[in-house]
Amino acid sequence: MDADEVYLRCSSPELSPLLEAASPSFHRESAPYLVSTEFPWLGIPRHRLKCRSVLTVAGSGDLPLFFLAFGARRIAAVDVSLHACYFSELKRAVLRHLEWEAALRFFLADLVPARGFLQRRGIPWRLGARERSQLYGLVRAALSRSARDHWDRRLTHTEPGRSPFAEFRGLAALCFLDHIPYLAGKEGYETWRETSAPYPLLNLPLEHAAAASRISFDVIYCSNVIEYWRDEDLASESPGAFHPRLGRFLGHCMDVVAPGGELYFYLFTSASSDSFRSIWHGTAPLRSQGWRGDVVEMSYDCGSIAGSRFRNTLLRHRKPASS
């Protein structure tokens, strides 16, 4: 089944209400993140992913490529935003068909937060409309028809001197570009490029993708989706939906994760925070079924902010090898 047929099936009448009402924070028309704002490679050893099958939130198109670079044998990516799916296609095509310097200019040129990152590498931070169009022409054929139509419109109606990605999410995170291996250096780019491969992109809410899956995965990796669920619950007029929602999702995961497999949640918080404690409490159903819960704490700095230190957490649960 090609990408266009997958998109068509995901937009079928019976699924459309799920897409439109998925979340106040993320829905089918949400703008994508420009780059990954999370760094699971800081906390997941390579050997844990070798030859394993992975279901992941699309994560700006970077996370599926990371899992492939770490040796995953099969990837499927889920994103409720159709625009994010198109962007994942574009990012994958750029990695396959552009050299490192050209890829950096294509995605990052004309974005002020990326100026220093590019200049430190001797790469001009401005890109003319004609040159960007030429670079796009080198990757266009690798896109699905739906993605081509989307990017043809977007890349031909950008004001001179303005990036076509200027309205994407996560631009503040461009100060952390040094922590994204395939962007930070040519060697990392070539490694990710060599291991990249096509993978299915499902334009569905994560909960529905897990519930509807007819195959099992060794790893399900969730971005910070459940943090958004919790924040939405706290901001709602009728709080209390978070733990039941998480519980339903965990129930689906118990069926989809293969014996001995793992479920990851990435959290933009430390293990000592109230947010983490709430999420840890919410994942108790896994541990009551014999899953082993582990906490991987990660810290990293930001070169543009002297003395900075940021702390994130990977929450990992491993399913029993036999029941």
pLDDT value for 16? 53
Can you tell me the distance from the alpha carbon of 209 to that of 223, in angstroms, rounded to the nearest whole number?
Answer: 14
pLDDT tops 90 at residue 137: yes
pLDDT value for 15? 54
pLDDT value for 2? 85
pLDDT value for 261? 96
Type and span of the H or E element at 27: none
pLDDT value for 284? 95
Contacts of 71 (CB under 8 A, 6+ apart): 46, 49, 50, 51, 52, 195
For 29, phi then psi, to 5°, come to: -100, 5
Q: Tell me how far the alpha carbon of residue 80 is from its chain's centroid.
A: 11
Residues 310, 275: contact at Cβ < 8 Å? Answer: no
Q: Give the residues across from 77 on adjacent strands.
A: 56, 201
- Domain residue spans of the chain: 1-85+169-323
Q: What CA dihedral angle connects 158, 162, 165 and 169, to 10 degrees?
A: -130
**Residue-wise pLDDT tens digits, 81-114:** 999 999 999 999 999 999 999 999 999 999 999 9
What average pLDDT does this structure show over 250-267? Answer: 94
pLDDT value for 205? 82
Question: What share of the chain has pLDDT > 90, as a percent?
Answer: 67
Q: Would you tell me how many other CB atoms lie within 10 Å of the CB of residue 16?
A: 12
pLDDT tops 80 at residue 159: no
**Residue-wise pLDDT tens digits, 36-64:** 999 999 999 999 999 999 999 878 899 99
pLDDT value for 269? 92
Q: Give the residues across from 56 on adjacent strands.
A: 77, 221
Classify residue 170 as left (phi > 0), alpha (psi -120 to 50) or beta: left
pLDDT value for 161? 80
What CATH code would you report for 1-85+169-323? 3.40.50.150
Can you tell me the distance from the alpha carbon of 139 to that of 141, in angstroms, rounded to the nearest whole number?
Answer: 6
For 303, phi then psi, to 5°, come to: -60, -25
When mean pLDDT is compared across 11-25, 27-41, 146-160, 287-301, the lowest value belongs to 11-25
Q: How confident is the model at residue 13 (pLDDT cuts 50, 70, 90)?
A: low
